Amino acid sequence: MKQRSFASLNFESKKKPTRRERFLGEMDKIVPWEALLALIEPSYPTSGRRGRPPMPAATMLRIHFMQQWYALSDPAMEDALYEIESMRRFAGLELNEDAIPDETTILKFRRFLEQHGLAVKILEAVNAHLSGKGLLLRQGTIVDATIIQAPSSTKNRDKQRDPDMRQTKKGQQWYFGMKAHIGVDVESGLVHTVTTTPANVGDVTEVDKLLHGQEKTVYADAGYQGAEKRAPKRGRRWFIAAKRGSVKAMPEGELKDAVKHTEHMKAAVRAKVEHPFRVVKRQFGYQKVRFRGLFKNTAQVLTLFALSNLWMARRTLLASAGEVRL
């Protein structure tokens, strides 16, 4: 049994749990740890340099997830493990008993996940877990994309912008960065497919990659006009928003009222696709890319949407486990 530090004992004696403590307690219960570790451990190193054993995979995976939830860099994550008892507890670490992973160890674990393509497998494992709970019905898909901005400055070591990122215009505003494209389950609002591209790539060009093939209906905004020609399949119905200008230009009357009503009904369904974006950008604080290149950023985006699915389904998962939400 690990010897408790003074910080740990003081933490136990406090009267009110913090929001961070409640959040981590919920996620600890609903993340399918066994399934995820089964993906990681077969290729995880069992020995380090000079015979020093590496940190346990379970500990590093928990630390990696906390980085995503709280938008922490590697040095900030190391500092948080020293400073915040609830985070140490979630990682299973005792301050006076265990070695605290430094920023290099945290970096190496992230690179390990990237090099072995484990981020996409984490999303697949999470979705398999949710499907087992009856949360991913796969009868329909909503597709959409969002821009993730990247630093546009050339004041860096290479004196240039990230070559994998591109500039695009949305409305009257120019953005530099990448796009995250997602396919979302119509019933649950959970993400089943994720792709990334430079920001200047048209949304409609990715539509065929965002469909799993089992859906009977597809919903999309006006940026996906002509999508049915890119992913044709007999028996699949497409509900793509009409362009606002074309609806506005229609003469007043019953036909225009009927079209506006139809567009309103489409928009009510499409609204679910905004929920994962809100969780990733607002709840998890993912406002800008953290790394250079699409490869590393894609791995992070895949992990973020896997975690957003768990967060959005947390009430149902806690209830199915017989847990009362904290």
- Token digits of residue 314: 């947390």
DSSP 8-state code for residue 157:
T
Q: How confident is the prediction along the chain (326 residues), in pLDDT tens digits per residue? A: 565 555 565 566 666 788 999 999 999 999 999 999 999 999 998 875 565 678 999 999 999 999 999 999 999 999 999 999 999 999 999 988 889 999 999 999 999 999 999 999 999 999 999 999 988 888 899 999 999 999 988 877 778 899 999 999 988 899 999 999 999 999 999 999 999 999 999 999 999 999 998 899 999 999 999 999 988 888 899 999 988 888 888 889 888 889 889 989 999 999 999 999 999 999 999 999 999 999 999 999 999 999 999 999 999 999 887 665 54
User: In degrees to the nearest 10, what's the CA dihedral of 27, 31, 36, 41?
Assistant: 50
7-11: list long-range contacts, CB under 8 Å, 24+ apart.
7/85, 7/95, 8/85, 8/88, 8/89, 8/94, 8/95, 11/85, 11/86, 11/89
Which residue reads 């709280």 in tokens? 70
Phi first, then psi: give them for residue 83, nearest 5 degrees. -95, -30
Q: Please state the domain extents for the chain.
A: 6-116, 137-294
Residues 195-217 have pLDDT tens digits of: 999 999 999 999 999 999 889 99
Strands 166-170, 140-149: pairing kind? unpaired
Which residue reads 């500039």 in tokens? 167
Asked if 90 and 59 touch (Cβ cutoff 8 Å), the reply is no
Q: What is the pTM of this model?
A: 0.90
Phi first, then psi: give them for residue 210, nearest 5 degrees. -95, -5
Residues 47-76 have pLDDT tens digits of: 755 656 789 999 999 999 999 999 999 999
Asked if 230 and 210 touch (Cβ cutoff 8 Å), the reply is no
Asked if 160 and 195 touch (Cβ cutoff 8 Å), the reply is no
**What whole-number distance in Å separates Cα of residue 285 and Cα of residue 202?**
25
- Token digits of residue 312: 């959005």
